[in-house]
Amino acid sequence: MSSLAQIDPEIYAAIQQEEQRQLTKLELIASENFVSPAVLEAQGSILTHKYAEGYPGRRYYGGCEHVDTAETLAINRAKQLFGVEYVNVQPHSGTQANMAIYFAFLKPGDAILGMDLAHGGHLSHGAAVNFSGQLYRSLSYGVKKDSGEIDFEGIEACLKKHRPRMLVAGASAYPRTLDFERFAQLARHYGALLMVDIAHIAGLVAAGLHPSPTPSADFITSTTHKTLRGPRGGLILAQNREIELQGKQEFYAQRLDFYLFPGIQGGPLMHTIAAKAVAFQEALRPAFKRYQQQILLNARTMAEEFLQRGYKLVTGGTDNHLLLIDLSKTGLTGQQAEIALDQAGITVNKNRIPFDPRPAKVTSGIRIGTPALTTRGMKAPEMRQVVDFIHRALSAPTDVSSLEHLQKEVKDFCRTYPLFSPEWYCEVQ
């Protein structure tokens, strides 16, 4: 019997039940993925014991020589992976990474221009309910109603009129390629700093399958999970440029380090940083690019299948790992679809579509992503089968008997693709 089962059987049971959910259901949430056994081992290691406020070689505690090694490896691997001069691997999340940049380069009340949450943006890009919309003057841009693609003319008009201090590029529900150079040209022309949040597409960027913001952006932030397939956490990347603030020249690195710690965080999570280092090492291997290529192929395959079945996709398809399905013509809300699919053993999230008349707790769409199923070894034929499962569930969303039968089919299907498939596990080793 495990120690956890003896000491806390309730938590042990919750973990076991969650493991079964992950094993027996189809995980299609675009922001989720499955890490390797090596990443799990590092995350659950005794590094969790160590307090290490500060940075490698500059700690406020003794006994940090070994965690210094782990953090330095994570930094150097991320530099190699993304081709940058500066990396901070300490942010606890992508939002913390964004917060550090705002605090370092903005004053309360400064204007930021980010993608509207209702059009596919993120809470930390200026949403009114988030600190970024409360501490700063929040401006937003969106997508064109006819195409669903980013409205760059609207961005320029807003930059020209309001002259925000920072332009934020990045999204959490946008299925097309982001034109970072166009964002950069606009930011430079109107005197704004450019922050690019690649949380969703970091793995694609690292593999060279999505344009990199490295040449264009002032700052880049990311999570380390999602397509990057690491532990849950954040990351800051930059070239170490100089900036003049209040008449003083400073390098990005010194400000970013200071405003992350001690500015907004205390001690870093050294077990998570070690797990990040492992994930970066995996991402530097040839197998990772093949994995990212399969993510894209799987997403395109699903998009084609949905279109053939008469579903409407925002922007008409996808260039990346996700697709946004507009359910308006089906008579279902996103909330109803999410519930029906869950009963069928398929996990998605309800999601607002651009210009959605329904509130965020109801929505008119669902968001689907392929990273997690691709990790389990599924390819294009399996994606077609998954779309068939989804279609059947959405065609009879209140038929309890049909959904129960479908759930059994899905469970049998999942058994063919174990969570840590031998083929994938061998590849990342």
Question: What's the burial of 412, exposed, middle or buried (CB within 10 Å: 0-12/13-18/19+)?
Answer: exposed
* Rounded Cα–Cα distance for residues 266 and 224 (Å): 19
Asked if omega into 357 is within 30° of 0 (cis), the reply is no
What lies within 8 Å, CB to CB, of 424 at 6+ separation is 36, 291, 375, 376, 377
- Phi (first) and psi of residue 111, to 5 degrees: -90, 140
The answer to whether the Cα torsion of 122, 126, 128, 130 is positive or negative is positive
Q: Is 92 annotated as a binding residue?
A: no
In sequence order, what are the residues at sequence separation of 6 or more whose Cβ sits closer than 8 angstroms to the Cβ of residue 98?
124, 125, 132, 195, 197, 221
On whether 66 is known to bind a ligand per the annotation, the reply is no
* Alpha-carbon span 89 to 293, nearest angstrom: 26
Sequence-ordered list of residues with C-beta below 8 angstroms from that of 406, at least 6 positions apart, any chain: 344, 345, 389, 392, 393
Burial code (b: 16+ CB inside 10 Å, e: under 16) for 33-43 equals bbbbebbeebb
Residues 316, 147: Cα–Cα separation, whole Å: 8
Helix/strand/coil (H/E/C) assignment for every residue in 152-214: HHHHHHHHHHHCCCEEEECCCCCCCCCCHHHHHHHHHHCCCEEEEECCCCHHHHHCCCCCCCC
Q: Which two structure tokens, joined as six digits, stand for 319?
A: 């260039």
For the chain, how are helix, strand and coil distributed in percent, rounded to 5?
Answer: 50, 15, 35
Produce one character per residue of 321-357: b if its CB has 16 or more CB atoms within 10 Å, e if not. Answer: bbbbbbbeebebbbbbbbbbbbbbbbbbbbbbbbebe
Confirm whether residue 26 is marked as ligand binding.
Answer: no
Report the amino acid identity of residue 87: V
Catalytic residue numbers read 51, 53, 197, 223, 226, 232
Find the largest Cα–Cα distance for the chain.
Answer: 70
d(CA 112, CA 163): 9
Q: According to the annotation, is 47 in a ligand binding site?
A: no
| Known binding-site positions for (6S)-5,6,7,8-tetrahydrofolate | 117, 121-123
Annotated binding site: 117, 121-123
